């Protein structure tokens, strides 16, 4: 299963707008997408799950995807996180 490891640089961490953008991006793809942080796993399409991870600024998160559009999804999420949540698809 393709996986990528990313650092959240945004000052609010993976909360608020960054969390919401991540979920919106994930929802666009036909794939099961998981975000892992601190030994916990969250469905990337669930805002409640993503918020519950409590990933702060500087957190290293792992994203993995499975399904028809897994590669495209990972690519898009990587761009989003690496652009500090500025670049949206």
Partner 1 sequence: MRTLRGIGASRGVAIGPAFRFREVDLNFDRRTVENPEHEWERLEDALEEARRQLIALQGKAGRSAGDQEAALFGAHAEMLEDPELLNVVRESVSEDRLNAEAAFSDAIESYARALESLESEYMRARAADVRDVGQRVLRILLDHRQSPTEDLKHPSIILARDLTPSDTMLLDRSLVLGFCTAEGGATSHTAILARGLGLPAIVGAGRDVLTISDGETLVLDGTAGTVLVAPDDETIAEYEQRRERTAGALKSAREKAREPAVTRDGRQVEVVANIGNVKEARDAIEAGAEGVGLLRTEFLYLERDRLPSEEEQYEAYRAVTDVFGNLPVVLRTLDIGGDKQLPYLDLSHEMNPFLGVRAIRLCLARPSLFRPQLRAALRAGAGRNLKIMFPMVAEVSEIREARGMLEECRAELMEEGRTVADGVQVGIMVEVPAAALMARHLAAEVDFFSIGTNDLTQYTMAADRTNAGVASLVSGFQPAVLRLVRDTIAAAHDQGKWVGLCGELGGEPLAIPILLGLDLDEFSMAPSAIPLAKQIIRQLSLDETKRVAQEALGLDSAQAVRELIRDRVPAADAR
Footprint of partner 1 (CB under 8 A): 11-13, 15-17, 20, 23, 43, 45-49, 51-52, 54, 56
User: What angle do helix axes 16-27 and 70-82 make, rounded to 10 degrees?
Assistant: 160
Which is closer to partner 1, CB of 48 or CB of 68?
A: 48
15 a catalytic residue: yes
Beta strand spans in the chain (E)? 3-7, 32-37, 40-43, 60-66
Closest distance of CB 68 from partner 1, Å: 17
Beta bridge partners of 4: 63
Closest distance of CB 53 from partner 1, Å: 9
Closest distance of CB 17 from partner 1, Å: 4
The arrangement of strands across the sheet holding 3-7 comes to 3-7, 60-66, 32-37, 40-43
Which is closer to partner 1, CB of 8 or CB of 45?
A: 45
Nearest to 52 by CA among 62, 34, 73, 37: 37
The one catalytic residue in 15, 56, 78, 82 is 15
Cite the active site residues. 15
């Amino acid at each position: 299963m393709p996986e990528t490891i990313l650092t959240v640089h945004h000052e609010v961490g993976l909360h608020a707008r960054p969390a919401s953008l991540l979920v919106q991006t994930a929802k666009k793809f036909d794939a099961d997408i998981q975000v892992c942080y601190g030994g916990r796993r969250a469905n990337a399409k669930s805002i409640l799950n993503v918020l519950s991870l409590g990933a702060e600024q500087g957190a290293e998160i792992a994203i993995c995807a499975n399904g028809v559009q897994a590669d495209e999804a990972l690519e898009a999420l990587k761009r989003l996180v690496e652009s500090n949540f500025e670049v949206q698809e």
